[in-house]
Structure 1
Amino acid sequence: MRDVYQEQLAGLSDVLAGMCLQVATAMEQATRALLEVDLQVAEQVIAEDLRIDDLRADAEEKAFGLLLLQAPVATDLRVVTSAIHSAGDIERMGDLALHVAQTARRRHPHPVLPAEVTGYFAEMGSTGTALARKAAEVIRTRDVDMASTLEADDDTMDDLHRHIFSVLLAPSWAHGVRPAVDITLLARFYERYADHAVSVARRVVYVVTGRMPGPLAV
């Protein structure tokens, strides 16, 4: 029975890591749809968001089942309760990638991004995707040192977020209000995506150490 229990705990971590990889792919493809004005890719991201929702439901079902049937304590209890929180964070990451894809679809066949900001969004997309993939590895390995590196990656995203606003507020901005609104919302989607990835990593630190790192600044 103990072996089965440990397999169930490991299976819960596998579901969460798989979710991270799913949302990494979603953001990678959503960014591609945004940059390349690719409607087909945007539609694919939108359609596949339901799978991420299903994975969250699966993770929560496994976690609540363990709480009810196994009454975990100590580290095992932290694993289960953190999984419930992390599943929500990761599912939200999928929603943010979905919002990016929906923006690309809504403006199609016209590009959302003027040339002045495409480089920033390309970098935000690659940074966010890398964060999600690193979060998956942190979940699998429970590597606290690796978890701490997500903070630095998030700082990179925050810097890009600030740079975009400097472009929007520059006197040379000549694209009007609607593109500025789209860009403001999109930048926020990427910034929040990164924040949720950091939250997942912090939950792993809590599992390993029993101490929750300080709150994420927003």
Structure 2
Amino acid sequence: MREAYHVELDNLAENLARMSSQVADAMERATRALLDSDLGLAEQVISDDVAVDNARADCEEQAYALLALQAPVATDLRVVVAALHAAESLERMGDLALHVAKAARRRHPDPVLPEPVRPYFAKMGEVDVRLARRAEDVIRSKDIEVARSIETDDDEVDDIHRHLFTVIMDKDWPHGVAAAVDVTLLGRFYERYADHAVSVARRIVFVVTGQMPGSSGGSEL
């Protein structure tokens, strides 16, 4: 009975890992759609988002079934609770990639981003995708050192996000209010995506150690 239960826990973790791969693909495609004004890629991200939503629903159904039928304790309970939180964060990552794709579609065939800020978004997209791929690896390996390293990469996105404000607030910004609003919103999407990847990694640390990173002691459920 316990062996079958742990197989179910492993299946739940694998479904979360696949979900992380889905949202990494979504952000990679959304960024390319944004930078290249690629309507086809934008439409693909938009249509694929339903699969991410369905994956979250499946993970939650698995998790609630395990809670109801197995009454897990200790580490097993942490796994199930962490899975519920991680599924929510991963779905939000998919939604944020969706917002990027919708911006690319809304402005098509015109580019969304003025030329001076394009390299910043290319870099944020690269880091965001790397974070999601690393989260996928962490879900499978439960390597807490790799999980903690995700926060370092998140700092890079935060730094770029902050710098964008100095760019658009410069008195010599020549691209108008609409472009400044687009840059502000899109920068926020990339910054929040990275934050959610950090949240997933922190849940894995919680599963392994019983503590959320930064907590002073005791378990958090």
Category of TM-score, reference length = shorter chain: over 0.9
Give the alignment of 1:147-186 within 5 angstroms: 147-186=147-186
Letter of the structure 2 residue corresponding to residue 156 of structure 1: E
- Shift of residue 126, structure 1, vs aligned partner: 0.4
2:101 alignment counterpart: 101
Structure 1 residue 21 displacement after superposition:
0.5
Superposition RMSD in Å:
0.8
Unaligned runs of 5+ in 1: none
Correspondence 1:17-166 to 2 at 5 A: 17-166=17-166
Alpha-carbon deviations, 1:144-197, whole Å to 9, x = none? Answer: 100110110000000110121111011221010001001100000000000000
Aligned length in residues: 215
Residue matched to 2:202? 202
Deviations 1:4-54 (A, max 9, x none): 111100000001111111000000000000000000100000000000000
Moved over 4 A (4+): none
SS at structure 1 position matched to 2:172: coil
How many Å separate the matches in 2 of 1:98 and 1:190? 11
Deviations 1:188-208 (A, max 9, x none): 000000000000000000000
Distance in 2 between the 1:134 and 1:165 partners? 28
- SS at the partner of 1:173? coil
How far apart in 1 are the matches of 2:45 and 2:153? 24
The amino acid of 1:112's aligned partner reads: V
> In the alignment, which residue of structure 2 is the partner of 1:189?
189
**Letter of the 2:62 counterpart:** K
Please give the secondary structure, in 1, of the residue aligned with 2:72.
coil
Q: How far apart are the structure 2 equivalents of 1:172 and 1:76? A: 57
State the shift of 1:2 in Å: 1.9
Aligned partners of 1:84 and 1:125: how far apart in 2? 26
Scaled by the length of structure 1, what TM-score is found? 0.97
